[in-house]
Structure 1
Amino acid sequence: MEQFVKALTEINNSVNNFVWVTIGLVLLIGTGILMTCCTKFFQISHLGHWWRHTIGSVFKRNSRATKKTDKKSISQFQALCTALAATIGTGNIAGVAAAIVVGGPGAVFWMWLAAFFGMMTNFSENVLGIYYRRRNRQGEWSGGAMYYLKDGLGKKKNCKWIGKILAVLFSICAILASFGIGNMGQVNKITLNIQSAFFANVDAPQMGGISVISLAIGIMLMIIAALIILGGLQRIAAVAEKIVPFMAVLYVVGALIVFFVHIRHVGEMFAAIFRFAFGVKAVGGAVAGITIKQVVTQGCKRGVFSNEAGLGSSVMVHSSSNVKEPVKQGMWGIFEVFFDTFVVCTMTAIVVLSSGFIDLETGLAVEGVNDATLVAQAFGNVFGKGGEVFVALAILLFAFTTVLGWSQYGSKAIEYLFGEKAVPVYRVVFVIMIISGAIMTSSLAWDISDTFNGMMMIPNLIGVISLCPLVAKITKNYVDRRIRKLDREPMLSFDKTIQDEAKATLGEDSE
């Protein structure tokens, strides 16, 4: 077993380095810049508009954003919460801590930069997801990168088979990623933090080399997950709608308390973020210096691990929304990345950088720091043992809802490849695999998740880039009609039947 794990680690490291460092980050950031330019910086130029029509609409009476219009779809707010359930996970806590420990404070800047451009990548994915979605035999919406690869890229001249092949590759990678980022990596962090918070001084018995405590945690999570996941998207969305807002607000409030306790260090913290983003030579005298490659790679990689912009994952849930306008769901994608990275991840970064476990002069972590439990220790500095318990519970909620969201992503990929009848089988296997995450080593589970992310990202971004002109056209069409109030034929779907149906009820889609 030890030899197998070692060989798996070596193979994974080679693939991970190629996917992420050689081509991944360039493709990821490049796509974000391209989509930002071709939509004329929509995230800035129409900031007020997308804000009012996303989170701002939630607080309006009788808003369509919070209402389901039929039993086969979910509301726009439910789609956001389910997507955030999948994105707000261990990447926001342990992932940010890992980025800072490995890449220094400057990694936070690159995380922000990746998120800024990632807003428009996620926007574009959702626009294409709604535009190319269709209903399955159960009457439910099915959308995602596989559909805009097949029906979008595949309809271009001489690209039929390229589109089909990339759609299949994406689906396979999505299934693998659902077991990595969406299952094993999340459950592993839950297990580590629960053990650290509640069983740190317990000499746990072993069973075949496996901790009985880890196994027990895995079994409990598996049972709870089964009760929700096997109920399908409607049950997942209903749970996410209740848990996600509560857990996000609670975590942000806790982080703000830590922020105000260390408010005297705010200037020093932000100075370190910007200084080490570019001036990494300042640590050249250290024994273990940080290179610019580490800073950029860790920041961007952990950023996309957190908000998933560019993976093509959350669009599979956004496509199930009751929305008619592709751009409107795209705006929810902008808010998703904004909240995930600029709010939640920034709060974690502040907690970590104010903890005293990161030397703000050298940018290096204090000797003996473990990134897996760093945030818990930082909260513990302010709240005592209660702080560690708080983080353990936050990770439990964050990571567990991520498992729920990713089960839906994998289900849609399975549906595309094998049909609807294969989905229940996948869900059962997915639930059982939760136990594997609980007993795996942290580093391997996390590294495998990283690799699956990158493998899923590449075909998706090829599709987004190839369809950039279409995204620009749909966006301009929306701006002309909704903002400039010009008379234009709406662009709602590639399918004439869906286009006509959506157009007939388009008035219901306005706030």
Structure 2
Amino acid sequence: MFGEIIGAISNFMYSYLLIIMLIGVGLYYTLRTRLVQVRLFKETIRVILEKPVESGAVSSFQALMVSTASRVGTGNIIGISTAICLGGYGAVFWMWVIAVVGGASAFIESTLAQIYKKRGPHGSYGGPAYYIEAALGSRGLAVLFALALIVTYGCGFNMLCSYNLQSTFAALSFYNPDTTPWIIGAVEAVLVGYCLLGGGKRVIKATSTLVPLMGVIYISVAFILTIMHINLVPGVVGRIFAEAFDFTAIFGGFAGSCMMFGIKRGLYSNEAGVGSAPNAAAAADVSHPVKQGLVQMLSVFIDTLLICTATAFMCLSSGIEPTKELAGAPYVQAALAASMGDYAKLFITVSMVLFAFTTLLGNLYYVDNAFAYVLKHVPGKTFTLCYRILACVLIFIGAGSSMGTMWDLADVTMGCMAIINLPVICILGGPALRALDDYTEQRNAGKNPEFKASKIGLTQKLDYWQD
């Protein structure tokens, strides 16, 4: 019953509401920023290489790596596989669309996070909850967004991540679908709980070191295997575009179409417009808010146009036809095994264990920050202990749940964040657009842009950017 209700809500949200909001807001800001994704791409590369204003502060590059690292993993590998197996080749095209137009939304939300960021004892912090309260004067709406973030990361995303992690073991000989998911879920829950409750520092340090390495190895393998089957790539590209524009099939059954799956999985992977990346963007130390907006825009492109595309082409050029039965980890493992043999199954399993474990921990740190905003102070030890135990219980439950229910739950909770954040950035876009004009004016004059709030007409008191 729960699965059916969540599935119905998800289909409604992405069939009638979010598809219009996501593409509409993305196109709106693509036009208002005069194609900032293309026009300032070279400038974006330059900004990434800049050092922070203050020694020891978080650089643009570091903030980019934080937000990118939180995205790389289940979304880029299992999410893309699921989209292709359930939606067809055309899902890849609609994933590209949501990334390109979503880049403009990501630029606006991260620029706003920088403008309205707060000063803390260990540097700056902020995000949608803070710019909603500061610019709209609505703490109620800001709290609602923070609560949506808590439910999304503490429940939806972590339960899905837990399911995806255990699903990679399905290709191994010892896997029993009735018992193995619950055993793996219990191990996940215990390890995460151990790390969250103060132990496991060596585990966290080891995985944090290994994950970037595994990410580089995974992307390299994906590109190498695609090049090995380069003769199949033209046919793959042809099918992607042919199925993407088969509107009879799309509108004949939209809930299961390539368009909906491409948009869902693309959004889950890059989170453009959802309001999550601005939390990382606010921590960067830059001389102008637009710099971090450009950096976070690039993060969307790295995530979807690079990593997700690498996964898609590696799978689709393998000669293994995507089917509903292979949806998720099995399709990626089968595609790799076609070229690498059975070692591929172990490679994906190890990669996903590392990616998913750090994602589970990272998601709960987002939750920590959201609780601090809602409560107006850092949660006490008893409160923190209780919600972290609950989080571990949800991780356990997620591992043994069904794939469809877990994806739908993640889509619905993420959709709630987007439904709040997208209208907000439409209302508050003015300061971000004026900041962009100020930035380009200074760059055209040969200056390293420095931001003053009064220069774009912001008279309210801000923690940063005052004269």
TM-score with structure 1 setting the length? 0.81
Residue of 89, 108, 113 corresponding to 1:129: 113
Q: What SS does the corresponding residue of 2:276 show, helix, strand or coil?
A: coil
Query: Is 1:347–2:272 an aligned residue pair?
Result: no
Per-residue deviation at 1:14?
2.6
Q: Which consecutive unaligned segments of at least 5 residues does structure 1 have? A: 1-5, 58-62, 155-162, 205-209, 359-364, 504-511
Q: State the AA in 2 paired with 1:31.
A: V
Equivalent pairs counted in the alignment come to 457
Q: What SS does the corresponding residue of 1:320 show, helix, strand or coil?
A: coil
Separation in structure 1 between the aligned mates of residue 104 and residue 204 of structure 2, nearest angstrom:
24
Separation in structure 2 between the aligned mates of residue 69 and residue 429 of structure 1, nearest angstrom:
39
Residue of 286, 297, 317 corresponding to 1:323: 286
Find the counterpart in structure 2 of residue 382 from structure 1: 339
Per-residue deviation at 1:126?
0.8
Separation in structure 1 between the aligned mates of residue 104 and residue 190 of structure 2, nearest angstrom:
38
Separation in structure 2 between the aligned mates of residue 445 and residue 351 of structure 1, nearest angstrom:
25
- Any conservation in 2 of the 1:86–1:404 contact (CA below 8 Å)? no
Find the counterpart in structure 1 of residue 30 from structure 2: 36
Per-residue deviation at 1:122?
1.1
Separation in structure 1 between the aligned mates of residue 323 and residue 54 of structure 2, nearest angstrom:
50
Q: Which consecutive unaligned segments of at least 5 residues does structure 2 have? A: none
Separation in structure 1 between the aligned mates of residue 210 and residue 157 of structure 2, nearest angstrom:
17
User: Where does 1:267-416 land on structure 2 (aligned, <5 Å)?
Assistant: 267-279=234-246, 294-358=257-321, 365-366=322-323, 368-416=325-373
- Any conservation in 1 of the 2:270–2:300 contact (CA below 8 Å)? yes
Residue of 149, 155, 161 corresponding to 1:186: 161
Query: Is 1:149–2:132 an aligned residue pair?
Result: yes
- Any conservation in 2 of the 1:133–1:144 contact (CA below 8 Å)? yes
Per-residue deviation at 1:442?
2.2
Separation in structure 2 between the aligned mates of residue 14 and residue 441 of structure 1, nearest angstrom:
16
Per-residue CA deviation, residues 47-68 of structure 1 (Å, 9 max, x unaligned), is 11101212xx1xxxxx525x98
Per-residue deviation at 1:291?
5.7
Per-residue deviation at 1:153?
2.7
Worse-matched range after superposition: 10-19 or 234-243: 234-243
Q: State the AA in 2 paired with 1:498.
A: D
Name the CA shift for 1:202/1:26 in 2 (closer, same or farther; >3 Å).
closer
Query: Is 1:446–2:437 an aligned residue pair?
Result: no
Worse-matched range after superposition: 168-177 or 82-91: 82-91
Per-residue CA deviation, residues 282-323 of structure 1 (Å, 9 max, x unaligned), is x79xxxx87697121111111001001111012112212233
Separation in structure 2 between the aligned mates of residue 462 and residue 470 of structure 1, nearest angstrom:
15
Separation in structure 1 between the aligned mates of residue 280 and residue 14 of structure 2, nearest angstrom:
25
Q: State the AA in 2 paired with 1:218.
A: G
Q: State the AA in 2 paired with 1:43.
A: Q
Q: State the AA in 2 paired with 1:437.
A: G
RMSD: 3.1
TM-score with structure 2 setting the length? 0.88
Per-residue CA deviation, residues 146-185 of structure 1 (Å, 9 max, x unaligned), is 111122233xxxxxxxx33321221111111013443110
Find the counterpart in structure 2 of residue 499 from structure 1: 464
User: Where does 1:404-443 land on structure 2 (aligned, <5 Å)?
Assistant: 404-422=361-379, 425=384, 426-443=387-404
Taking every aligned residue pair, what percent have the same amino acid on both sides?
31
Q: What SS does the corresponding residue of 2:320 show, helix, strand or coil?
A: coil
Find the counterpart in structure 1 of residue 425 from structure 2: 464
Per-residue deviation at 1:418?
1.3
- Any conservation in 2 of the 1:83–1:405 contact (CA below 8 Å)? no
Separation in structure 2 between the aligned mates of residue 50 and residue 238 of structure 1, nearest angstrom:
30
Per-residue deviation at 1:383?
0.7
User: Where does 1:18-97 land on structure 2 (aligned, <5 Å)?
Assistant: 18-54=12-48, 57=49, 64=51, 69=55, 74-97=58-81
Per-residue CA deviation, residues 257-296 of structure 1 (Å, 9 max, x unaligned), is 2212211101101111111111355x79xxxx87697121
Q: What SS does the corresponding residue of 1:420 show, helix, strand or coil?
A: coil
- Any conservation in 1 of the 2:110–2:282 contact (CA below 8 Å)? yes
